[in-house]
Amino acid sequence: MTNILISGASIAGTATAYWLRRHGYTVTVVERAPAIRPGGYKVDVRGAALTVIERMGLLDAVRARGTDMRVATYYDAAGRPLAAVGADLFGGRTGDDAEIMRGDLNELLYDLTRDEVEYVFGDSITGIAEDGTVTFERSGPRTFDLVVGADGAHSNVRRLVFGPERDFTRDLGHYVSICTVPNTLGLDREEAVHAAAGRTANVYSTRQDTAAKALFMWSSPPLDHDHRDVAGQKKLLARAMDGAGWQVPALLEAVRDADDFYFDSVAQIHLDRWSKGRAVLVGDAGYCASPASGQGTSLALVGAYVLAGELATGGGTEGYERELRPFVAANQALGPANLKGMVIGSRAALWFQLTMMRLLPRLPGRDLMIERITGPIFRAANAITLKDYAR
Ligand SMILES: Cc1cc2nc3c(=O)[nH]c(=O)nc-3n(C[C@H](O)[C@H](O)[C@H](O)COP(=O)(O)OP(=O)(O)OC[C@H]3O[C@@H](n4cnc5c(N)ncnc54)[C@H](O)[C@@H]3O)c2cc1C
């Protein structure tokens, strides 16, 4: 097996391309978007994923582009500050953990691979035959030994080879929306949060950003929405945030003009097998842990490293599943647990959380409480011993 096609050029796709190329494979990446997507939202790189980044020689570059966030402040509906938390604790980061914009990380991965990997933008796979013939929307048919689905939670490869999305989706009862808005609050490497029962609004601006990102999360039963109808999705967001105080009405105004609006249910992907025939899944396509886990990027980076390493050293896709399954399970478990702290269910629980945050610096058991927040994330992020597949 030498000739591999990857569908998707975000973190999982570009990282898999890097490791496969380094192990000597010929790699083609097909990406539906017309180019590598810039910007996005901030993501964490933790634990074993930091080791993967280091083995790619990117650790200094990732640190240099870090978000440098300082603090997160909670405000009440009238705009009064309620509690402030250090950015690392707010993001569940410990030790060397890094935070970077998704687009910046992907640009680094793309730059590392672009000279040795064939990237085909603006195209998508339409069929994968048993003999390895792959057909595309625009390009002519080509033959590959293996197709890697790295095309995200709504994976095209997974649908073509494994079956419909609903068979693998585990809904976590929430929605998330994020987009760029003007930095009217004058935020400098900080986030401003307004939490009410069942919904949270958050605005942040990172070191490099002259604008800000508005992030909304709320609990909701499944909504009937068309993923292409952005105007309809903005209305659903406005409805979910209706009546909220603080800066929410102004933010919703700004959201109307946003051209990078993202809206999706908070859900996970669970499959019994990540490989079938000539296809294998990596990253969100195979094991999306949801944005609530904070570990999707790290799963994609570690998954890419293990998949390429196992293919190159004879373990094959069986080896990939064996090595990665416990790590994925540990990190997916974070999703529902973290959600409870991100969108608080009741006023009483909200009052309790904000009081604890306010008192945290003075509490006697402070370190123990911090460990209760960051410990589970740290353990999950390190729940794999990476083999040395190096070449
Ligand atoms: C709001 C939000 C906040 C998040 N916060 C965090 C965080 O704090 N920490 C963290 O670790 N993770 C976070 N994540 C998750 C993280 O972004 C993903 O888990 C991570 O980027 C890995 O994604 P991926 O490469 O597997 O898929 P994606 O990033 O979804 O990329 C899939 C790629 O495939 C392409 N594609 C889709 N369909 C096709 C097709 N038919 N043909 C070709 N290409 C296709 C897409 O254009 C895209 O480039 C967050 C996600 C969201 C949405």
pLDDT, tens digit (0-9, with 9 covering 90-100), for 112-165 = 999 999 999 999 999 999 999 999 999 999 999 999 999 999 999 999 999 999
Number of domains in the chain: 1
Q: Is the pLDDT of residue 84 over 70?
A: yes
Pocket of ligand 1 (CB under 6 A): 7-13, 30-33, 37, 41, 43-44, 102, 124, 150-152, 156, 176, 178, 262, 283-285, 291, 294-298, 300
Q: Of 16, 36, 41, 139, which is best to mutate to test ligand 1, by the most ligand atoms within 8 angstroms of its C-beta? A: 41
* Residue ranges making up the domain that contains 14: 3-69+98-168+268-337
Mean of all residue pLDDT scores within the chain? 95
Q: Is residue 209 part of a domain?
A: no
If you compute the radius of gyration of the chain from its CA atoms, what whole number of angstroms results? 21
Q: Residue 391: its pLDDT value, please?
A: 61
Instruction: Express as a percent the part of the chain with pLDDT over 90.
Output: 85
For residues 237-266, average pLDDT? 96
Whether 19 maps to a domain, the answer reads: yes
Residue 260 in domain? no
pLDDT for res 294: 93
pLDDT band at 70; cut points 50, 70, 90:
very high
User: Ligand 1 centroid vs 150 CA: distance in angstroms?
Assistant: 9
d(CA 7, CA 125): 8
Q: How far is the CA of 9 from the centre of ligand 1 (A)?
A: 9
297 lies in a domain? yes
CA angle 125–268–173, rounded 5-degree value: 125
Which class for 357: exposed (0-12), middle (13-18), buried (19 or more C-beta within 10 A)? middle
pLDDT in tens, 276-305: 999 999 999 999 999 999 999 999 999 999
Q: What is the CATH number of the domain that holds 133?
A: 3.50.50.60
Report which ligand 1 atom has the smallest distance to the Cα of 288.
19
Per-residue pLDDT tens over the stretch 150-171: 999 999 999 999 999 999 999 9
Nearest atom of ligand 1 to the alpha carbon of 12? 25
Tell me whether residue 83 is in a domain: no
pLDDT digits (tens, 9 = 90+) for 6-43: 999 999 999 999 999 999 999 999 999 999 988 889 99
348 within domain boundaries: no
Alpha-helical runs (H) found in 265-365: 284-287, 296-312, 316-332, 334-342, 347-359
Instruction: Report the pLDDT value the prediction gives residue 281, as an integer from 0 to 100.
Output: 98
Give the whole-angstrom CA distance, residue 238 versus residue 301.
35
Inter-helix orientation angle 48-55/296-312, to 10°: 60
65 inside domain: yes
Q: Measured on CA atoms in the order 230, 235, 236, 238, is the torsion positive or negative?
A: positive
- Does 203 fall in a domain? no
pLDDT reported for residue 287 = 98
